[in-house]
């Protein structure tokens, strides 16, 4: 279904945004733009994290930093990551599962899959907007992973347009047009989100933080 002729109801979109929890506007994880293995670990383990505020070294970000310190050769090199035993990742990052698989197994499976692409994806600079389709196929082939994990991964690496997927589009279409089935262009979604950010940024550090908050709100069911 194409976008309707009448204009977007930006007031309704604003009300939906105001309903989202404050903490979502400060959780953008774009900190691994030059570290593909760290971006991958963070994406797969961050899906359903366990926070330990009194022991920050035990939360997901703390564990990722520890991995970087202990295995600097693998920080931005998937070949080096796959040379590690899966048990090394499991011991450091935890025994959480995604579907029936351990997340440590999923990390290694994605890494191996990215290396088999032509040309292979080895470092962070290899993941571009043009290659998101290839990356998506790798994630889709790993049990327990899918679009959400892919979006976290691409967002961590700062890939342009990574967050404008069905989650964010559904959010904007539902509240700006009253119909989440509408097919909106990425440019239109970005424009409406940017307009909302300029009116009230909700404390978000950047448009990317703001966009990510809406994406999280939709994917986690926080939207009204």
**Over pLDDT 90: what percentage of the chain?**
50
Q: pLDDT for 5-22, tens place per residue?
A: 447 889 999 999 999 999
d(CA 219, CA 141): 21
Beta strands (DSSP E) in the chain are 97-98, 101-102
> 203 pLDDT band (50/70/90 cuts)?
very high
As beta bridge partners, residue 102 has 97
Supply 58's token pair: 């035990």
SS3 17: helix
- Predicted confidence at residue 58, as pLDDT, reads 54
Average of pLDDT values for 144-154?
85
- Predicted confidence at residue 1, as pLDDT, reads 46
Supply 18's token pair: 């105001």
Q: pLDDT for 164-202, tens place per residue?
A: 667 888 999 999 999 988 888 877 888 898 899 999 999
What mean pLDDT value characterizes the chain? 86
Q: pLDDT for 22-45, tens place per residue?
A: 999 987 656 688 999 999 999 998
- Predicted confidence at residue 54, as pLDDT, reads 43
- 202-205: long-range contacts, CB 8 A cutoff, minimum separation 24: 202/17, 202/18, 202/20, 202/22, 202/25, 203/22, 203/25, 203/26, 204/25, 204/26, 204/28, 205/26, 205/28
Whether pTM exceeds 0.75:
no
- Predicted confidence at residue 116, as pLDDT, reads 98
- Predicted confidence at residue 184, as pLDDT, reads 85
- The terminus-to-terminus CA distance of the chain in angstroms comes to 23
- Predicted confidence at residue 108, as pLDDT, reads 98
Q: CA nearest 138: which of 108, 103, 165, 168?
A: 108
CATH topology of domain 36-156: Endonuclease III; domain 1 (1.10.340)
């Amino acid at each position: 279904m194409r976008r309707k002729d009448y204009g977007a109801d930006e007031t309704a979109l604003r009300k939906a945004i105001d309903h989202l929890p404050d903490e979502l506007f400060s959780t953008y994880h774009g900190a691994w733009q030059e570290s593909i293995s760290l971006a991958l670990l963070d994406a797969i383990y961050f899906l359903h994290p366990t926070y330990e505020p009194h022991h920050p070294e035990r939360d997901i970000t703390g564990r990722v930093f520890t991995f970087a310190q202990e295995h600097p050769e693998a920080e931005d090199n998937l070949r080096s990551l796959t040379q590690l035993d899966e048990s090394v990742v499991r011991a450091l990052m935890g025994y959480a599962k995604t579907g029936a698989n351990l997340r440590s197994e999923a990390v290694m499976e994605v890494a191996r899959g990215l290396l088999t692409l032509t040309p292979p994806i080895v470092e962070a600079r290899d993941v571009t907007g043009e290659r998101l389709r290839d990356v998506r196929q790798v994630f889709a082939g790993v049990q327990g992973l899918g679009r959400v994990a892919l979006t976290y991964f691409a967002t961590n690496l700062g890939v342009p347009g990574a967050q404008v997927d069905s989650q964010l589009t559904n959010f904007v279409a539902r509240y700006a047009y009253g119909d989440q089935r509408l097919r909106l262009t990425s440019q239109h979604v970005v424009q409406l989100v940017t307009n909302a950010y300029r009116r009230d940024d909700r404390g978000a550090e950047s448009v990317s933080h703001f966009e990510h908050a809406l994406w999280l709100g939709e994917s986690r069911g926080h939207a009204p």
